Amino acid sequence: MQLTDLTATRLLDGYRKGEFSPVEATAEALERARRIQPEVNAFVRLTEEDALARARESEERWRRGEPAGLLDGVPVTVKDILLLRGHPTLRGSRTISEQGAWDEDAPPVARLREHGAVFLGKTTTPEYGWKGVTDSPLTGITRNPHDPARTAGGSSGGSAAAVALGAGPLSLGTDGGGSIRIPAAFCGIFGLKPTYGRVPLYPASAFGTLSHTGPMTRDAADAALLLDVIGAPDPRDWSALPPAPGSFSEALKGGVRGLRVAYSPTLGGQVAVRPGVAAAVRRAVARLADLGAYVEETDPDLSDPVEAFHTLWFSGAARLTQRFPPRLRQLLDPGLREICAQGSRYSALDYLAAVDVRMGLGRRMGRFHETYDLLVTPTLPVTAFEAGAEVPRGSGLRRWTGWTPFTYLFNLTQQPAATVPVGTDGDGLPVGLQLVAARHRDDLVLRAAHALYEAGQALSGLVRPAGS
């Protein structure tokens, strides 16, 4: 048995029974991280000394039968957008200096520290998390575990690759337009964008209330456990929600029998979905029906809000870099420079018009969920394409939003949305199914995802490096 194969829940069970220790699990995870790094480039840095020190402390607590919390001794990685005390957070950018105190944890990192988690290191991101693939001037290209010639997706691509390859079963990602769900789908793991405010964020994102933080894991049970830990209020985030009414792990037991599920394969013909993706998603939807859900093929009343999303997203990027002198601007990813220039040309009235579009979407989805508990779509219309490109070659698309129409929509509405790996296309590349619920119903998304895992419809999310 390789400890890198185990989920967080299985590791914790092994610690409890004395089958293996946090030090053993951490050492194997670090060795796996070092091994995969040359091929997939998932890490900005490993924090080996700190990780082993925390693992030894955890091992002593387990020996005494006094674990510190729900994740004591579990190896975790953190996207390099989020602060990790004692280590630089460079956000994929050459515009940030490593010098400084770095003496604060982001809220979800602080909760993980309180619960005894072991931090393996920081994972890669495109510069400031601006696009749906992971390459940056600072760290280069992050590659897909299933085919290194292809992208891992983004912007939490390093986290997705690390989890898929066994370098820690849990990772913290961020999602402003699909940045958890896109790489999770491309890499074949589970990813959840919780309801906005469920996981506090600090410092506030330049992209405002589009940006969420959430779990990236190998199954829904691990994600529920992680959300139980990180979904707690933090005084630094004034928009954080109060504590959840119950345990997300306990809510997994409900199953899908009786749930009303709307299946929208193309958002009413608005999205061209590749046949291999469509077939895998349709099979999983049929399985939901077999499990007792009431499934109806129907579409929400939505038009593509991409221009409103661009207004909000590009304006955020422009604000982020507003005070950069010319020498720093020249260090930026050229695509990021382009959207910053476009964002700087929007007026306050343009921004407020985009907010109006957003409010209209939220209202229509709120009414939609009066009839349906869940909406199911493909996570993406494509599978992973060539690494180092923002859009698939020959697609004619200009920006990453052209191939992510199923994801950014639900950042605008702030709903919980998860991707579940439900098969592969003709090239053996993972396909993701997206589950969406009304705001504050993260429990329904996790329940339905867990039901697919329990029924064997969802993939394990684990890729073993060659020779393992």
Residue 466 lies in a domain: no
Total structural domains in the chain?
1
On whether the CB atoms of residues 236 and 427 are closer than 8 A, the answer is no
- The most distant pair of C-alpha atoms in the chain lies apart, rounded to whole Å, by 62
**N-terminal to C-terminal alpha carbon distance within the chain:** 11
CA distances in angstroms from 298 to 23, 93, 212, 259, 376, listed in the order given: 50, 43, 27, 15, 10
Residue 467 lies in a domain: no
Given pLDDT bands bounded at 50, 70 and 90, which one contains residue 248?
A: very high
Mean pLDDT, residues 379-408 taken together? 98
pLDDT at 77: 99
Place of tokens 């219309």: 381
pLDDT at 461: 85
Given pLDDT bands bounded at 50, 70 and 90, which one contains residue 402?
A: very high
Give residues with Cβ within 8 angstroms of 230, minimum separation 6. Answer: 107, 108, 111, 112, 172, 199, 213, 215
pLDDT at 265: 98
Report d(CA 201, CA 101) in Å as an integer: 20
CA distances in angstroms from 246 to 69, 369, 440, 464, listed in the order given: 17, 21, 12, 35
Mean pLDDT, residues 193-222 taken together? 97
Residue 463 lies in a domain: no
Report d(CA 24, CA 343) in Å as an integer: 49
On whether the CB atoms of residues 210 and 316 are closer than 8 A, the answer is yes
pLDDT at 100: 87
Residue 461 lies in a domain: no
- H-state helical runs in 248-305: 248-251, 275-290
pLDDT at 32: 98
Report d(CA 128, CA 270) in Å as an integer: 30
Give residues with Cβ within 8 angstroms of 454, minimum separation 6. Answer: none
Residue 35 has pLDDT above 90, yes or no: yes
pLDDT at 466: 77
Residue 468 lies in a domain: no
User: What's the whole-number average pLDDT of the chain?
Assistant: 97
Name which of 168, 165, 130, 136 is nearest 46 in CA terms. 168
Given pLDDT bands bounded at 50, 70 and 90, which one contains residue 468?
A: confident
pLDDT at 467: 72
Residue 1 has pLDDT above 90, yes or no: no
pLDDT in tens, 9-25: 999 999 999 999 999 99
pLDDT at 187: 98
Range of the domain at 151: 3-454
pLDDT at 39: 98
Domain of 170, CATH number, reads 3.90.1300.10
Residues that are catalytic: 79, 155, 179
pLDDT in tens, 283-308: 999 999 999 999 999 999 999 999 99
Report d(CA 284, CA 294) in Å as an integer: 14
pLDDT in tens, 84-102: 999 999 999 999 999 989 9
On whether the CB atoms of residues 274 and 383 are closer than 8 A, the answer is yes
Mean pLDDT, residues 329-346 taken together? 98
Residue 71 has pLDDT above 90, yes or no: yes
Mean pLDDT, residues 117-133 taken together? 98
Mean pLDDT, residues 158-164 taken together? 98
**CA angle 237-159-243, nearest 5°?**
30
On whether the CB atoms of residues 156 and 42 are closer than 8 A, the answer is no
Residue 464 lies in a domain: no
**CA angle 342-348-351, nearest 5°?**
65
**CA angle 385-388-393, nearest 5°?**
45
pLDDT in tens, 130-154: 999 999 999 999 999 999 999 999 9
